Protein backbone atom coordinates (compact mmCIF):
# COMPACT_ATOMS: atom_id res chain seq x y z
CA UNK A 1 0.00 0.00 0.00
CA UNK A 2 1.21 3.49 -0.83
CA UNK A 3 2.39 5.63 2.06
CA UNK A 4 1.92 9.34 1.47
CA UNK A 5 4.23 11.12 3.82
CA UNK A 6 5.04 14.80 4.07
CA UNK A 7 8.06 16.48 5.65
CA UNK A 8 7.27 19.65 7.61
CA UNK A 9 8.99 21.90 10.13
CA UNK A 10 7.22 25.18 10.72
CA UNK A 11 10.54 27.05 10.77
CA UNK A 12 12.32 27.64 7.47
CA UNK A 13 15.75 26.38 6.50
CA UNK A 14 15.97 23.49 8.95
CA UNK A 15 16.34 20.77 6.27
CA UNK A 16 12.93 19.71 4.91
CA UNK A 17 13.96 19.61 1.25
CA UNK A 18 17.23 17.88 2.17
CA UNK A 19 15.23 15.28 4.12
CA UNK A 20 12.68 14.66 1.35
CA UNK A 21 15.51 14.05 -1.12
CA UNK A 22 17.66 11.89 1.13
CA UNK A 23 14.89 9.89 2.78
CA UNK A 24 13.50 9.35 -0.72
CA UNK A 25 16.94 8.27 -1.94
CA UNK A 26 17.37 5.91 1.02
CA UNK A 27 13.97 4.26 0.39
CA UNK A 28 14.84 4.03 -3.31
CA UNK A 29 18.19 2.42 -2.36
CA UNK A 30 16.18 -0.25 -0.53
CA UNK A 31 14.22 -1.04 -3.71
CA UNK A 32 11.13 1.05 -3.00
CA UNK A 33 9.19 2.88 -5.72
CA UNK A 34 9.45 6.50 -4.59
CA UNK A 35 7.93 9.74 -5.87
CA UNK A 36 9.01 13.06 -4.38
CA UNK A 37 6.90 16.18 -4.82
CA UNK A 38 7.74 19.82 -4.18
CA UNK A 39 4.75 21.10 -2.24
CA UNK A 40 6.16 24.66 -2.14
CA UNK A 41 3.98 26.55 -4.58
CA UNK A 42 5.36 30.05 -3.92
CA UNK A 43 8.95 29.31 -2.81
CA UNK A 44 9.92 26.01 -4.45
CA UNK A 45 13.50 24.79 -4.40
CA UNK A 46 13.48 21.00 -4.66
CA UNK A 47 14.32 21.32 -8.36
CA UNK A 48 17.31 23.54 -7.54
CA UNK A 49 18.66 20.90 -5.13
CA UNK A 50 18.42 18.34 -7.97
CA UNK A 51 19.45 20.50 -10.94
CA UNK A 52 16.13 20.17 -12.78
CA UNK A 53 14.90 23.75 -12.44
CA UNK A 54 14.38 24.14 -16.18
CA UNK A 55 12.32 20.98 -16.62
CA UNK A 56 8.67 21.33 -17.52
CA UNK A 57 5.84 20.70 -16.92
CA UNK A 58 5.70 21.27 -13.19
CA UNK A 59 3.27 20.92 -10.32
CA UNK A 60 1.96 24.41 -11.15
CA UNK A 61 0.79 23.21 -14.58
CA UNK A 62 -0.94 20.25 -12.95
CA UNK A 63 -2.71 22.37 -10.29
CA UNK A 64 -3.72 24.87 -12.96
CA UNK A 65 -5.33 22.00 -14.84
CA UNK A 66 -3.36 22.33 -18.10
CA UNK A 67 -1.30 19.13 -17.74
CA UNK A 68 -1.99 15.66 -16.39
CA UNK A 69 0.10 14.68 -13.38
CA UNK A 70 1.75 11.76 -15.25
CA UNK A 71 3.42 14.29 -17.54
CA UNK A 72 4.86 16.25 -14.62
CA UNK A 73 6.82 13.25 -13.26
CA UNK A 74 10.51 13.64 -14.12
CA UNK A 75 13.11 10.92 -13.82
CA UNK A 76 16.21 12.35 -12.09
CA UNK A 77 19.62 10.94 -13.00
CA UNK A 78 19.77 9.38 -9.50
CA UNK A 79 16.73 7.23 -10.38
CA UNK A 80 14.33 9.24 -8.20
CA UNK A 81 10.97 10.22 -9.67
CA UNK A 82 10.30 13.90 -9.01
CA UNK A 83 7.45 16.35 -9.49
CA UNK A 84 9.10 19.77 -9.28
CA UNK A 85 7.28 23.06 -8.74
CA UNK A 86 8.10 25.80 -11.24
CA UNK A 87 10.45 28.45 -9.87
CA UNK A 88 9.38 31.25 -12.22
CA UNK A 89 7.61 34.27 -10.71
CA UNK A 90 4.84 34.03 -13.33
CA UNK A 91 3.66 30.87 -11.56
CA UNK A 92 2.50 33.07 -8.71
CA UNK A 93 -0.13 34.65 -10.94
CA UNK A 94 -1.64 31.31 -11.92
CA UNK A 95 -5.03 30.30 -10.64
CA UNK A 96 -5.13 26.79 -9.25
CA UNK A 97 -8.11 24.56 -9.88
CA UNK A 98 -6.84 21.57 -7.92
CA UNK A 99 -5.26 20.89 -4.56
CA UNK A 100 -2.16 18.69 -4.24
CA UNK A 101 -4.37 16.04 -2.63
CA UNK A 102 -6.68 16.00 -5.66
CA UNK A 103 -3.77 16.05 -8.10
CA UNK A 104 -2.04 12.97 -6.68
CA UNK A 105 -5.15 10.80 -6.32
CA UNK A 106 -4.71 9.12 -9.68
CA UNK A 107 -1.02 8.25 -9.43
CA UNK A 108 -0.17 7.62 -5.80
CA UNK A 109 -1.01 3.91 -6.10
CA UNK A 110 1.85 3.38 -8.56
CA UNK A 111 4.41 4.11 -5.84
CA UNK A 112 5.32 2.60 -2.50
CA UNK A 113 6.10 6.06 -1.13
CA UNK A 114 5.03 9.57 -2.07
CA UNK A 115 7.08 12.15 -0.16
CA UNK A 116 5.88 15.77 -0.14
CA UNK A 117 8.10 18.72 0.72
CA UNK A 118 5.99 21.11 2.83
CA UNK A 119 6.67 24.86 2.73
CA UNK A 120 7.85 26.61 5.90
CA UNK A 121 5.25 28.30 8.09
CA UNK A 122 1.78 27.24 9.15
CA UNK A 123 -0.20 29.09 6.49
CA UNK A 124 -2.56 27.93 3.76
CA UNK A 125 0.19 26.64 1.47
CA UNK A 126 1.69 24.49 4.23
CA UNK A 127 -1.75 23.20 5.18
CA UNK A 128 -2.56 22.16 1.61
CA UNK A 129 0.67 20.16 1.41
CA UNK A 130 0.10 18.54 4.83
CA UNK A 131 -3.51 17.68 3.97
CA UNK A 132 -2.34 15.81 0.86
CA UNK A 133 -0.44 13.33 3.09
CA UNK A 134 -1.54 10.67 5.57
CA UNK A 135 1.59 10.93 7.72
CA UNK A 136 4.08 13.64 8.58
CA UNK A 137 7.73 13.55 9.56
CA UNK A 138 8.72 16.67 11.47
CA UNK A 139 12.22 18.06 10.94
CA UNK A 140 13.88 20.44 13.36
CA UNK A 141 17.27 21.67 14.46
CA UNK A 142 18.50 21.22 18.04
CA UNK A 143 17.49 24.71 19.18
CA UNK A 144 14.45 26.13 20.94
CA UNK A 145 13.01 28.40 18.19
CA UNK A 146 12.97 25.52 15.69
CA UNK A 147 11.59 23.09 18.29
CA UNK A 148 8.72 25.47 19.15
CA UNK A 149 7.69 25.66 15.50
CA UNK A 150 8.08 21.88 15.16
CA UNK A 151 5.62 21.39 18.01
CA UNK A 152 3.17 23.80 16.35
CA UNK A 153 3.37 22.07 12.96
CA UNK A 154 2.95 18.66 14.56
CA UNK A 155 -0.23 19.84 16.33
CA UNK A 156 -1.50 21.46 13.12
CA UNK A 157 -0.95 18.20 11.23
CA UNK A 158 -2.85 16.24 13.87
CA UNK A 159 -5.77 18.69 13.59
CA UNK A 160 -5.75 18.22 9.82
CA UNK A 161 -5.89 14.43 10.22
CA UNK A 162 -2.27 13.78 9.17
CA UNK A 163 -0.53 11.58 11.75
CA UNK A 164 2.85 12.75 13.04
CA UNK A 165 5.24 9.76 12.83
CA UNK A 166 8.13 11.34 14.67
CA UNK A 167 10.87 13.94 14.57
CA UNK A 168 14.24 14.08 12.82
CA UNK A 169 16.82 16.31 14.51
CA UNK A 170 18.94 17.74 11.69
CA UNK A 171 22.20 19.75 11.72
CA UNK A 172 23.20 18.28 15.08
CA UNK A 173 26.75 19.46 15.83
CA UNK A 174 27.18 17.98 19.29
CA UNK A 175 27.82 21.40 20.91
CA UNK A 176 26.97 21.68 24.60
CA UNK A 177 24.72 24.68 23.91
CA UNK A 178 22.46 22.60 21.66
CA UNK A 179 19.34 20.80 22.90
CA UNK A 180 19.95 17.06 23.08
CA UNK A 181 17.95 15.09 20.48
CA UNK A 182 16.11 13.34 23.34
CA UNK A 183 15.12 16.72 24.83
CA UNK A 184 13.94 17.91 21.41
CA UNK A 185 11.79 14.78 21.00
CA UNK A 186 10.33 15.21 24.49
CA UNK A 187 9.64 18.89 23.81
CA UNK A 188 7.84 18.22 20.53
CA UNK A 189 6.04 15.20 22.05
CA UNK A 190 7.10 12.86 19.24
CA UNK A 191 9.25 9.73 18.92
CA UNK A 192 12.82 10.45 17.80
CA UNK A 193 13.18 8.98 14.29
CA UNK A 194 16.84 9.89 13.85
CA UNK A 195 19.63 12.42 14.21
CA UNK A 196 21.44 13.84 11.17
CA UNK A 197 24.77 15.46 11.96
CA UNK A 198 25.78 18.88 10.70
CA UNK A 199 27.98 18.08 7.69
CA UNK A 200 29.61 20.05 4.87
CA UNK A 201 28.92 17.02 2.63
CA UNK A 202 25.41 18.46 2.20
CA UNK A 203 26.97 21.49 0.50
CA UNK A 204 28.91 19.18 -1.81
CA UNK A 205 25.76 17.20 -2.62
CA UNK A 206 23.88 20.44 -3.30
CA UNK A 207 26.63 21.53 -5.66
CA UNK A 208 26.60 18.11 -7.40
CA UNK A 209 22.76 18.33 -7.54
CA UNK A 210 22.60 14.76 -6.33
CA UNK A 211 21.24 13.12 -3.14
CA UNK A 212 23.95 12.82 -0.47
CA UNK A 213 22.71 9.32 0.40
CA UNK A 214 23.66 8.09 -3.08
CA UNK A 215 26.72 10.33 -3.56
CA UNK A 216 28.43 9.49 -0.25
CA UNK A 217 26.63 6.25 0.70
CA UNK A 218 28.96 5.35 3.57
CA UNK A 219 29.06 8.80 5.20
CA UNK A 220 27.47 9.24 8.63
CA UNK A 221 24.54 11.38 7.36
CA UNK A 222 23.81 8.82 4.61
CA UNK A 223 23.83 5.93 7.08
CA UNK A 224 21.57 7.91 9.43
CA UNK A 225 19.04 8.54 6.64
CA UNK A 226 19.21 4.86 5.66
CA UNK A 227 18.57 3.84 9.28
CA UNK A 228 15.46 6.06 9.35
CA UNK A 229 14.29 4.58 6.02
CA UNK A 230 14.87 1.04 7.29
CA UNK A 231 12.86 1.81 10.44
CA UNK A 232 10.01 3.19 8.30
CA UNK A 233 10.08 -0.10 6.40
CA UNK A 234 9.98 -1.99 9.68
CA UNK A 235 13.42 -3.53 9.08
CA UNK A 236 16.77 -3.35 10.87
CA UNK A 237 19.28 -1.28 8.89
CA UNK A 238 22.12 -3.81 9.25
CA UNK A 239 19.91 -6.55 7.80
CA UNK A 240 18.33 -4.56 5.00
CA UNK A 241 21.64 -2.98 3.93
CA UNK A 242 23.63 -6.23 3.80
CA UNK A 243 21.15 -9.09 3.57
CA UNK A 244 22.44 -12.64 3.81
CA UNK A 245 22.03 -14.89 0.78
CA UNK A 246 19.07 -16.62 2.48
CA UNK A 247 17.37 -13.29 3.17
CA UNK A 248 17.97 -12.22 -0.45
CA UNK A 249 16.39 -15.41 -1.80
CA UNK A 250 13.47 -15.04 0.63
CA UNK A 251 12.89 -11.43 -0.47
CA UNK A 252 13.08 -12.46 -4.13
CA UNK A 253 10.51 -15.20 -3.56
CA UNK A 254 8.18 -12.80 -1.73
CA UNK A 255 8.35 -10.34 -4.66
CA UNK A 256 7.34 -12.85 -7.36
N1 LIG B 1 22.67 18.22 8.26
C2 LIG B 1 23.06 19.30 7.55
N3 LIG B 1 24.33 19.79 7.68
C4 LIG B 1 24.72 20.89 7.00
N5 LIG B 1 23.94 21.56 6.14
C6 LIG B 1 22.67 21.12 5.97
C7 LIG B 1 22.16 19.98 6.65
N8 LIG B 1 20.88 19.80 6.29
C9 LIG B 1 20.59 20.78 5.40
N10 LIG B 1 21.67 21.58 5.21
C11 LIG B 1 21.74 22.76 4.35
O12 LIG B 1 20.90 23.76 4.93
C13 LIG B 1 20.27 24.52 3.91
C14 LIG B 1 18.76 24.47 4.12
O15 LIG B 1 18.32 23.14 3.91
P16 LIG B 1 16.94 22.85 3.18
O17 LIG B 1 16.84 23.63 1.93
O18 LIG B 1 16.80 21.39 3.09
O19 LIG B 1 15.95 23.43 4.28
P20 LIG B 1 14.39 23.67 4.17
O21 LIG B 1 13.82 23.38 5.51
O22 LIG B 1 13.84 22.90 3.04
O23 LIG B 1 14.32 25.22 3.84
P24 LIG B 1 13.03 26.07 3.38
O25 LIG B 1 12.21 26.28 4.63
O26 LIG B 1 13.61 27.35 2.87
O27 LIG B 1 12.30 25.27 2.34
C28 LIG B 1 20.72 23.93 2.58
O29 LIG B 1 21.78 24.67 2.08
C30 LIG B 1 21.17 22.52 2.95
O31 LIG B 1 22.17 22.03 2.08
MG1 LIG C 1 12.81 23.60 1.34
Interval 116-170: pLDDT, tens: 999 999 999 999 999 999 999 999 999 999 999 999 999 999 999 999 999 999 9
Rounded CA separation 175/173 (Å): 6
Rounded CA separation 146/139 (Å): 9
Q: Do residues 185 and 191 lie in contact, with contact meaning Cβ atoms separated by under 8 Å?
A: yes
Please tell me the predicted confidence (pLDDT) of residue 167. Answer: 98
- Compute the distance from residue 13 Cα to the ligand 2 centre, in Å: 7
- Compute the distance from residue 49 Cα to the ligand 1 centre, in Å: 10
Q: What is the pLDDT of residues 189-217, one digit of tens each?
A: 999 999 999 999 999 999 999 999 999 99
Structural domain for 197, as ranges: 3-255
Overall pTM surpassing 0.85 (yes/no): yes
Kindly list the protein residues whose Cβ atom lies closer than 6 A to any atom of ligand 1: 9, 12-18, 120, 170-171, 196, 198-199, 202-203, 206, 221
- Point out the ligand 1 atom lying closest to the alpha carbon of residue 20: 18
Rounded CA separation 133/162 (Å): 6
Preceding omega of 28 cis (within 30 degrees of 0): no
Q: In the beta sheet, which residues pair with residue 169?
A: 140, 195
Q: What is the CATH number of the domain that holds 134?
A: 3.40.50.300
What DSSP state is assigned to residue 109?
A: G
Q: Do residues 138 and 14 lie in contact, with contact meaning Cβ atoms separated by under 8 Å?
A: no
- Point out the ligand 1 atom lying closest to the alpha carbon of residue 12: 25
- Point out the ligand 1 atom lying closest to the alpha carbon of residue 196: 1
Rounded CA separation 109/197 (Å): 34
Closest Cα to atom 16, ligand 1: which residue?
Answer: 15
Closest Cα to atom 9, ligand 1: which residue?
Answer: 15
Q: Do residues 85 and 91 lie in contact, with contact meaning Cβ atoms separated by under 8 Å?
A: yes
Measured CA to CA in angstroms, residue 33 lies from 4, 137, 141 at distances of 12, 19, 29
Where does the chain have alpha helices with state H?
Answer: 16-29, 46-50, 59-64, 100-104, 124-131, 144-160, 181-188, 201-208, 212-215, 220-232, 237-241, 245-255
- Point out the ligand 1 atom lying closest to the alpha carbon of residue 171: 1
**Of the bound ligands, which one is closest to the alpha carbon of residue 19?**
1
* Mean pLDDT calculated for residue range 7-24: 98
256: confidence class by pLDDT, cuts 50, 70, 90: low
How many structural domains compose the chain?
1
CA atoms within a 13 Å half-sphere pointing along the CA-CB vector of 213 = 25
Amino acid sequence: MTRILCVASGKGGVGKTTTVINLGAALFHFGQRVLIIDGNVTTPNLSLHLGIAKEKPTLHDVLEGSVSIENAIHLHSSGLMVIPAGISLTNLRKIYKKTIAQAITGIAGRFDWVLIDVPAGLGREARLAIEAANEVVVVTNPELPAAVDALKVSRLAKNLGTSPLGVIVNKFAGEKEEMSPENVAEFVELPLLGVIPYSTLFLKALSAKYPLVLLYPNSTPAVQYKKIAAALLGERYEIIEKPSIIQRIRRFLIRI
